[in-house]
Chains A and B, each alone.
Chain A
């Protein structure tokens, strides 16, 4: 099995889907000739032509809205937001339109649209190239939000998103793009949206997280294993709707739960995870639910000192995991 990078898995999934289904196409800023500012769509323009790899005018609401229109018609558009931070002009289209089309038409219309957006910090991206925006969309029934951590998951989940009959927001961690490599099968496969994945089995503490933080948690778990602390790590993969069964099972397994996100703490995805655990796991808990997240400031600052302070990193996770293990 080939070892490829996270971003190559993105490109691979899109290419295979475009080859498989002529209704699949890509639209966004700089996705064509340039192949994307991160090169996520590299080579697609050459392979499929400008008709199916469309460089759009710089207008996010139109990228989402045109994608929605095409999806309602029956196409399978993959719209790219250049940075998750720039999705805000398209929020009305995503929340008022895409999320509600099936429901408001009583199942007459649907909207099989994928919106991809690179998110996340630790890349010296400052306030507007570092944000995690998933929580903005994570109380919008009708949307699905996928945030994979590994190249294997990227390929399987992006293909599933493209084939899904409802709108999917697919957030890719931009620092993971070239940092994270992994084995990815050449053949076609999909992974179920809405299912979390146990990335490490353990007995003493449970860490529930998603995206790049999964890798930080795995690194920390490796260190703690040397001290005899066994960590169970659940990767949410889909952050909306959440995989309640998997969350409850993972929380109940050790009774000590650490929730990690690199988003601001208050109102983040992990608050909802904590609520699910609180509702279902009272008798299994052996410690208060612990959260590790970014500080409640508007976004990640540019200066390296402040950026590091904001970011979740393996040392922070390790410290939190150790405290929990010792509780």
Chain B
């Protein structure tokens, strides 16, 4: 005696379930093998499901009207002795020799692969000036994988950053010896048509390309934006700008106010003034703000050092001087060193929203967009025309998280929105 189970059969090539229309047996009924047990309805057919055993119906597990998945048990049968219960039929053993000639006979023999470089590995090693003989490979046969090279680059970055802990990590130091080569321009096959001009990539352009590629490649960028009401600031600055120009001899730009606000925010949120150094994060003491200054064909990032200690006037002066230096080609290497955070005046081109690439190895870049007049709902009930500005920030998500950045931006927003004649002094 044994209890056997009857399962929902697959009735049709694409059928996955069946509904019990009605049972043709009841508990205690004696059935013979192949006697019908139930009527089953599927999407394709209506059929009688026969018994696979002779015996007595023990239990009807599915009720009439139930829809049961193929292979689920619908009832059980107590079988009489001597029933040969067959397991799933086995498969015969294949004679392997008969398979020769059908299988793919070209197999990659295992051989030492240490010195076999893929195009991707070679390209990376050239871009970063890596001696591949010094890199150990984790691929088959010791092959150096692209990932191996990327890890080597990242490790080299840490080594370079490590000794600088506790003191100023200057940007040129951040670029370690193995990384001092500019990026090789990818050999994209761009077809030339009549009238196209080929511009050789040299010097500054090459360096910009290398820095951008490196930052974008290595730093996981996240992005955030706040909207700031700068109406008070606009009023205040416009009311004094002509006088200031006359008195000081240079422009009092909005940008100076923003740099000041950011510097103050960094003072209060020192996490923002940090750098990634592989196995550690270095929080910088000095607040040195890099500002982006563009020429027709290049981009420079001179630094306003200790911006938090400077007045708005002082910052405005430095901005003006650095801009002049850039345009006259007088900018020196030291003018661009030591930046800890970048503020970019994208608003000067009329941009209202942008996603900056972080100035490596800093942790964030803030873009000050155009100040534009927009209708704004005030105090829940009134619409007013206000001077609005967006502040967009890209952050290194290895160093910073959304929470601190959100608080930082909220603080900067608050500072700017409260800038008026009565609250700040430009001197």
Query: Do chains A and B make direct contact within the complex (CB under 8 angstroms)?
Result: yes
Name A residues whose Cβ lies closer than 8 Å to a Cβ of B.
Answer: 244-245, 248, 280, 282-283, 285
B residues 100-116 near A (Cβ < 8 Å) are 104-106, 108, 113, 116
* 15 A-B pairs (CB sep. < 8 Å): A244-B104, A244-B105, A244-B106, A245-B105, A245-B106, A248-B106, A280-B106, A280-B108, A282-B118, A282-B119, A283-B113, A283-B116, A283-B117, A283-B118, A285-B119
Q: Which residues of chain A come closer than 8 Å to B104, judged between CB atoms?
A: 244
Q: Closest residue of chain B to A285, judged by CB? A: B119
Q: Which residues of chain B come closer than 8 Å to A283, judged between CB atoms?
A: 113, 116-118
Q: Which residues of chain B come closer than 8 Å to A280, judged between CB atoms?
A: 106, 108
Determine how close the nearest CB of chain B comes to the CB of A269; give it in whole angstroms: 18
| Given A248-B106, A282-B118, A283-B117, 7 more pairs with CB closer than 8 A | A244-B104, A244-B105, A244-B106, A245-B105, A245-B106, A283-B113, A283-B118
Q: Which residues of chain B come closer than 8 Å to A285, judged between CB atoms?
A: 119
Determine how close the nearest CB of chain A comes to the CB of B338; give it in whole angstroms: 44
In the complex, the 8 A-B pairs of residues with the closest C-beta atoms, listed nearest first: A283-B116, A244-B106, A282-B118, A245-B106, A280-B106, A248-B106, A280-B108, A283-B118
Q: Which residues of chain A come closer than 8 Å to B119, judged between CB atoms?
A: 282, 285
Q: Which residues of chain A come closer than 8 Å to B116, judged between CB atoms?
A: 283
Q: Which residues of chain B come closer than 8 Å to A248, judged between CB atoms?
A: 106
Determine how close the nearest CB of chain A comes to the CB of B103; give it in whole angstroms: 12
Determine how close the nearest CB of chain A comes to the CB of B106; give it in whole angstroms: 5
The distance in angstroms between the C-alpha atoms of A248 and B104, with both chains bound, is 13
The distance in angstroms between the C-alpha atoms of A44 and B118, with both chains bound, is 57
Determine how close the nearest CB of chain B comes to the CB of A107; give it in whole angstroms: 9
Q: Closest residue of chain A to B116, judged by CB? A: A283
Q: Which residues of chain B come closer than 8 Å to A245, judged between CB atoms?
A: 105-106
Determine how close the nearest CB of chain B comes to the CB of A154; give it in whole angstroms: 26
Q: Closest residue of chain B to A194, judged by CB? A: B101
Determine how close the nearest CB of chain B comes to the CB of A162; give it in whole angstroms: 21
Mask of B17-28 contacts with A, CB within 8 angstroms, 1/0: 000000000000
Q: Which residues of chain A come closer than 8 Å to B118, judged between CB atoms?
A: 282-283
Q: What count of chain B residues pass the 8 Å CB interface test?
A: 9
Determine how close the nearest CB of chain A comes to the CB of B44; give it in whole angstroms: 25
Determine how close the nearest CB of chain A comes to the CB of B292; give it in whole angstroms: 38
Determine how close the nearest CB of chain B comes to the CB of A288; give it in whole angstroms: 9
Q: Which residues of chain B come closer than 8 Å to A244, judged between CB atoms?
A: 104-106
Q: Closest residue of chain B to A244, judged by CB? A: B106
Determine how close the nearest CB of chain B comes to the CB of A151; give it in whole angstroms: 30
Q: Which residues of chain B come closer than 8 Å to A282, judged between CB atoms?
A: 118-119
The distance in angstroms between the C-alpha atoms of A248 and B116, with both chains bound, is 17
The distance in angstroms between the C-alpha atoms of A280 and B119, with both chains bound, is 14
The distance in angstroms between the C-alpha atoms of A285 and B119, with both chains bound, is 9
Q: Which residues of chain A come closer than 8 Å to B105, judged between CB atoms?
A: 244-245
The distance in angstroms between the C-alpha atoms of A282 and B105, with both chains bound, is 18
Q: Which residues of chain A come closer than 8 Å to B113, judged between CB atoms?
A: 283
Q: Which residues of chain A come closer than 8 Å to B108, judged between CB atoms?
A: 280
Q: Closest residue of chain B to A245, judged by CB? A: B106
Mask of B172-184 contacts with A, CB within 8 angstroms, 1/0: 0000000000000
The distance in angstroms between the C-alpha atoms of A102 and B117, with both chains bound, is 45
Q: Closest residue of chain B to A276, judged by CB? A: B106
The distance in angstroms between the C-alpha atoms of A245 and B108, with both chains bound, is 11
The distance in angstroms between the C-alpha atoms of A248 and B117, with both chains bound, is 18
Q: Closest residue of chain A to B98, judged by CB? A: A107
The distance in angstroms between the C-alpha atoms of A248 and B108, with both chains bound, is 11
Determine how close the nearest CB of chain A comes to the CB of B155; give it in whole angstroms: 25
Q: Which residues of chain A come closer than 8 Å to B117, judged between CB atoms?
A: 283
Mask of B110-140 contacts with A, CB within 8 angstroms, 1/0: 0001001111000000000000000000000
Determine how close the nearest CB of chain B comes to the CB of A169; give it in whole angstroms: 20
Determine how close the nearest CB of chain B comes to the CB of A298; give it in whole angstroms: 26
Determine how close the nearest CB of chain A comes to the CB of B143; give it in whole angstroms: 9
Q: Closest residue of chain A to B189, judged by CB? A: A288
Determine how close the nearest CB of chain B comes to the CB of A252; give it in whole angstroms: 12
Determine how close the nearest CB of chain B comes to the CB of A103; give it in whole angstroms: 10
The distance in angstroms between the C-alpha atoms of A244 and B101, with both chains bound, is 13
Determine how close the nearest CB of chain B comes to the CB of A192; give it in whole angstroms: 13
The distance in angstroms between the C-alpha atoms of A280 and B108, with both chains bound, is 7
Q: Closest residue of chain A to B102, judged by CB? A: A141
Determine how close the nearest CB of chain B comes to the CB of A304; give it in whole angstroms: 28
Determine how close the nearest CB of chain B comes to the CB of A284; give it in whole angstroms: 9
Determine how close the nearest CB of chain B comes to the CB of A317; give it in whole angstroms: 20
Determine how close the nearest CB of chain A comes to the CB of B101; give it in whole angstroms: 10
The distance in angstroms between the C-alpha atoms of A280 and B105, with both chains bound, is 12
The distance in angstroms between the C-alpha atoms of A283 and B114, with both chains bound, is 12
Q: In this complex, which of B106, B116, B117, B119 has the most chain A Cβ atoms within 10 angstroms of its Cβ?
A: B106
The distance in angstroms between the C-alpha atoms of A283 and B117, with both chains bound, is 7
Determine how close the nearest CB of chain B comes to the CB of A69; give it in whole angstroms: 26
The distance in angstroms between the C-alpha atoms of A249 and B106, with both chains bound, is 11
The distance in angstroms between the C-alpha atoms of A241 and B179, with both chains bound, is 49
The distance in angstroms between the C-alpha atoms of A244 and B117, with both chains bound, is 23
Q: Closest residue of chain A to B106, judged by CB? A: A244
Determine how close the nearest CB of chain A comes to the CB of B91; give it in whole angstroms: 15
Determine how close the nearest CB of chain B comes to the CB of A128; give it in whole angstroms: 34
Q: Closest residue of chain A to B143, judged by CB? A: A283
Q: Closest residue of chain B to A248, judged by CB? A: B106
Q: Closest residue of chain B to A283, judged by CB? A: B116
Q: Closest residue of chain A to B115, judged by CB? A: A283
The distance in angstroms between the C-alpha atoms of A110 and B116, with both chains bound, is 46
Determine how close the nearest CB of chain A comes to the CB of B229; give it in whole angstroms: 55
Q: Closest residue of chain A to B108, judged by CB? A: A280
Determine how close the nearest CB of chain B comes to the CB of A257; give it in whole angstroms: 15
Q: In this complex, which of A244, A245, A282, A283 has the most chain B Cβ atoms within 10 angstroms of its Cβ?
A: A283
The distance in angstroms between the C-alpha atoms of A245 and B109, with both chains bound, is 13
The distance in angstroms between the C-alpha atoms of A248 and B107, with both chains bound, is 11
Determine how close the nearest CB of chain A comes to the CB of B391; give it in whole angstroms: 45
The distance in angstroms between the C-alpha atoms of A285 and B117, with both chains bound, is 11
Q: Which residues of chain A come closer than 8 Å to B106, judged between CB atoms?
A: 244-245, 248, 280
Mask of B80-111 contacts with A, CB within 8 angstroms, 1/0: 00000000000000000000000011101000
Determine how close the nearest CB of chain A comes to the CB of B140; give it in whole angstroms: 12
The distance in angstroms between the C-alpha atoms of A67 and B343, with both chains bound, is 81
Determine how close the nearest CB of chain A comes to the CB of B23; give it in whole angstroms: 41
The distance in angstroms between the C-alpha atoms of A282 and B143, with both chains bound, is 13
The distance in angstroms between the C-alpha atoms of A248 and B119, with both chains bound, is 18
The distance in angstroms between the C-alpha atoms of A285 and B108, with both chains bound, is 16
The distance in angstroms between the C-alpha atoms of A248 and B105, with both chains bound, is 12
Determine how close the nearest CB of chain A comes to the CB of B401; give it in whole angstroms: 40
Determine how close the nearest CB of chain B comes to the CB of A91; give it in whole angstroms: 24
The distance in angstroms between the C-alpha atoms of A212 and B200, with both chains bound, is 43
Determine how close the nearest CB of chain B comes to the CB of A122; give it in whole angstroms: 28
B residues 360-375 near A (Cβ < 8 Å) are none
The distance in angstroms between the C-alpha atoms of A244 and B118, with both chains bound, is 22
Determine how close the nearest CB of chain B comes to the CB of A290; give it in whole angstroms: 11
